[in-house]
Amino acid sequence: MPGNTDLLTLQTPCLLLDEARLRANVARMKAHLDSLGVAFRPHLKTAKSLDVARIAMPSSAGPATISTLREAEYFAAGGVCDMIYAVGIAPAKLGRVSAIRASGADLAVILDSVEQADAVAAHAARSGDAIPALIEVDADGHRSGVAPTDTATLVAIGRRVVSGGAELRGVLLHAGDSYALNDPAAIAQAAEAERVAAVTAAEALRNAGLPCPVVSVGATPTARYARDLTGVTEVRAGVFMFGDLYQAGVSSVAMGDLVLSVLATVIGHQKAKGWIIADAGWMALSRDRSTAKQAVDQGYGVVCDLAGQPYPDLIVADANQEHGIIALRKGSTATLPDLPVGSRIRILTNHACATGAQYDRYHVLDGAGGISAIWPRINGW
Amino acid sequence: MPGNTDLLTLQTPCLLLDEARLRANVARMKAHLDSLGVAFRPHLKTAKSLDVARIAMPSSAGPATISTLREAEYFAAGGVCDMIYAVGIAPAKLGRVSAIRASGADLAVILDSVEQADAVAAHAARSGDAIPALIEVDADGHRSGVAPTDTATLVAIGRRVVSGGAELRGVLLHAGDSYALNDPAAIAQAAEAERVAAVTAAEALRNAGLPCPVVSVGATPTARYARDLTGVTEVRAGVFMFGDLYQAGVSSVAMGDLVLSVLATVIGHQKAKGWIIADAGWMALSRDRSTAKQAVDQGYGVVCDLAGQPYPDLIVADANQEHGIIALRKGSTATLPDLPVGSRIRILTNHACATGAQYDRYHVLDGAGGISAIWPRINGW
């Protein structure tokens, strides 16, 4: 247990952030992308914090990727002036996009339909704001995007964007299906497929005489395991900064690199059942149960001591809103640790994006088990 | 579609609240509990809003149940002065409890161990604050609590509480396993078991010469279907106010009584797959997938038109952080509705407590499809 008493006195549950691990994760990703000769545009949807953004971004002004216009407003107010809003644009959001751009931030949008291109073009013509737009291209059937070989649609969208005086800035892909892979070689293959799709789409636009300066790809797994990114100009990734049990389960991060943990307090026991009850339920840990489909189901989280070391086989086996039911993994031969009422524990969780969203601040761990800072974060839209 | 244009212009996603349904749900519960001759102590953990609390509580001063001390502080500042914090007390929270009590609110705590009773007694002796404590009794093996027949432990806890000058206020039970039942007769049986456990524990304390003025039970299903509450003084329930797809799946509320829905915008299509993409992902709907275990799996939510009428078989089949993937239920013979980019939809979600927690406000629907008010809500601890 650390000598510092901060972790014994904080009100629980609260969210701890290991700054040294965060910096190491960012440095590793930056070095990898530097070695591939591509720019890095970190995704801030996981952290939603200016303090974290300034560690992750190449400069305090960006570039960055964001997932909500609330993030765009918050980061723009904090001096980030190069952002892509990486969710297909709804026409009714274009006024808000222009307001953020008028505040000085170069905020770009993405789209994958002629309908959206018409809306962006009409807005640009009406407002005089040449909103930059990237065409979303479908890397792997995961979600949105134009098929990379659908040249007719790509070109039609590109022509509509520029027709109204908006700016066609390039193509953007997200190899979301790579999250389901757990073998570095398979992920590298997914990264190569993402690259090929990106380059194919970019060439289709250029062959039609349209500009395509930006070729943007990324997802945490493909960013980490890509071996060659020829033709790509930038990579986006976000959850890698923090990692989580799901990412660890697919080998995308190591357990020892996980940045976030929830500090909780033991509030009871059901000894006959082998249960320890803590004051961190699904509200504190999130409802995310994504490890349920993995080889090792981590329940609602892995229970650690205050130094961050997991207790053998001890997980949050079930959770109510403000109660975590801690028990040994089924079939375990380990011994339930002696954790009297009032004991403090740290819980690693399944999904950093979902857990983070339950909090309005990070308690930043220094190297000695104390709290060195509180970093605010935002939520909502 | 409503004549009012509010739902067409709000930024999405946002959380809609149907005030008329809320008032009807509350009136139904109050009438039922009145007929049983018990007091009502609504649980505010789902709503976390003073505006909702004032509709649900018997008076603007309470009584109320809360799940975090942040709620206690917020509601105390809003004039609620009779609250039970219904999560087993951690010793390190007693100072904060006393601070809230010093502000004028009669805030009680719960406990189920001699260790906690010692902590409460020691705090009372030290601070002079006679914190009221209820002993949590286990109704059904769901989570926390002393077995109702474990007289020795009940009496030992009761004696320790009063030994330090704290106040023994009674017993509290929560029949949490009733959420898994879907038959009114079975739920009525669970309510009767909860009542018997409560009365048994209360009698054990009284027989030992200890006070037990409050006998508090409750969970939304048992509150709704209890037929006799002799010996019980008050009932707690919270999620019934709003209802959700999970509750509808266990017949605890009707689909037509659901109060909350997420307003979202269509941002794209993958026509070959029959997908409609909306700007409400799991961040807006919550990660809760509790209907997955029910007879009808509602995915991440049921998609409705702006009047709140479900489209046949249309659900949010999958979700990423800010993307909902809408599709027809597997095997459906319904036709995918024509919802061009920019179309507005409303989504009913699995779990009101989890969905609500993703927002900092409710947009309150008037009867004409417009927004009559914005009610703030809180989150966090």
Q: What is the pLDDT of residues A123-165, one digit of tens each?
A: 999 999 999 999 999 989 989 999 999 999 999 999 999 998 9
Query: Do B310 and B273 share a structural domain?
Result: yes
Query: Do A220 and A291 share a structural domain?
Result: no
How many domains, chain B?
Answer: 2
Query: Do A272 and A172 share a structural domain?
Result: no
* A1 lies in some domain: no
Query: Do A218 and A121 share a structural domain?
Result: yes
Both ends of chain B: CA-CA distance in Å? Answer: 39
User: Among A116, A145, A141, A121, which residue's Cα sits nearest to residue A131?
Assistant: A121
pLDDT for residue A367: 84
User: Among A220, A228, A232, A300, which residue's Cα sits nearest to residue A264?
Assistant: A300
Task: Kindly state the greatest CA–CA separation across chain B.
Answer: 73
* B139 lies in some domain: yes
Query: Do A139 and A55 share a structural domain?
Result: yes
Helix (H, G, I), strand (E, B) or coil at B67: coil
pLDDT for residue B3: 56
Q: Residue B171: which domain range?
A: 22-240
pLDDT for residue A3: 56
Q: Do β-strands A324-328 and A310-319 pair in parallel, antiparallel, or remain unpaired?
A: antiparallel
* A245 lies in some domain: no
Query: Do A182 and A236 share a structural domain?
Result: yes
pLDDT for residue A368: 86
- The 10s digit of each residue's pLDDT in A57-110 is 999 999 999 999 999 999 999 999 999 999 999 999 999 999 999 999 999 999
Query: Do A206 and A65 share a structural domain?
Result: yes
> DSSP characters for B295-318?
SS--BT-EEE-TTSPEEEEEEEEE
Query: Do B266 and B360 share a structural domain?
Result: yes
Contact A115 B381 (CB under 8 A): no
Query: Do A67 and A38 share a structural domain?
Result: yes
As beta bridge partners, residue B135 has B111, B171
- Domain endpoint, select from A186, A218, A240: A240
Provide the CATH number for the domain around residue B344: 2.40.37.20
Pick from B149, B341, B358, B361 the residue to mutate for testing the A interface (most A CBs within 10 Å): B341
Neighbour-count burial for A142-160, b at 16+ CB within 10 Å, e otherwise: bbbbbbbebbebbbbbbbb
pLDDT for residue A253: 85
Q: What pLDDT tens digit does each residue of chain A (381 aa) get? A: 445 789 999 999 999 999 999 999 999 999 999 999 999 999 999 999 999 999 999 999 999 999 999 999 999 999 999 999 999 999 999 999 999 999 999 999 999 999 999 999 999 999 999 999 999 999 899 899 999 999 999 999 999 999 989 999 999 999 988 888 888 899 999 999 999 999 999 999 999 999 999 999 999 999 999 999 999 999 999 999 999 999 998 877 899 999 999 999 999 999 999 999 999 999 999 999 999 999 999 999 999 999 999 999 999 999 999 999 999 999 999 999 999 999 999 999 999 999 999 999 999 999 888 999 999 999 999
- Domain endpoint, select from B188, B214, B240: B240
Identify the residue whose tokens are 């892979």. Answer: A181
Contact B289 A289 (CB under 8 A): yes
Contact A343, A265 (CB under 8 A): yes
* A82 lies in some domain: yes
Query: Do A94 and A226 share a structural domain?
Result: yes
Query: Do A368 and A307 share a structural domain?
Result: yes
* B247 lies in some domain: no
- Which residues in chain A have their CB less than 8 angstroms from residue B287's CB? 286-289, 351, 354
pLDDT for residue B164: 85
Contact B43, B236 (CB under 8 A): yes
Mind telling me how many Å the CA of B67 is from chain A's nearest CA? 7
Query: Do B156 and B80 share a structural domain?
Result: yes
Please tell me which of the candidates B90, B96, B279 has its beta carbon nearest to residue A279.
B90
- Which residues in chain B have their CB less than 8 angstroms from residue A265's CB? 90, 92
* A381 lies in some domain: no
- Which residues in chain A have their CB less than 8 angstroms from residue B95's CB? none
> DSSP characters for A135-174?
EEE-SSSSSS-B-TT-HHHHHHHHHHHHHTT-EEEEEEE-
Report the sign of the C-alpha dihedral through residues B32, B34, B39, B45, in that order: positive
Distance CA B203, CA A371 (A): 48
Q: What pLDDT tens digit does each residue of chain B (381 aa) get? A: 445 789 999 999 999 999 999 999 999 999 999 999 999 999 999 999 999 999 999 999 999 999 999 999 999 999 999 999 999 999 999 999 999 999 999 999 999 999 999 999 999 999 999 999 999 999 999 899 999 999 999 999 999 999 989 999 999 999 988 888 888 899 999 999 999 999 999 999 999 999 999 999 999 999 999 999 999 999 999 999 999 999 998 877 899 999 999 999 999 999 999 999 999 999 999 999 999 999 999 999 999 999 999 999 999 999 999 999 999 999 999 999 999 999 999 999 999 999 999 999 999 999 888 999 999 999 999
- Domain endpoint, select from A240, A261, A295: A240
Contact A116 B354 (CB under 8 A): no
* B93 lies in some domain: yes
* B170 lies in some domain: yes
Distances B27 to B111, B179, B247 between C-alpha atoms, Å: 31, 22, 18
pLDDT for residue A2: 44
Contact B116 A341 (CB under 8 A): yes
Distance CA A98, CA A264 (A): 43
Return the structure tokens found at B297.
């799996």
pLDDT for residue B181: 86
**Radius of gyration from C-alpha coordinates of chain B:** 22
Provide the CATH number for the domain around residue B48: 3.20.20.10
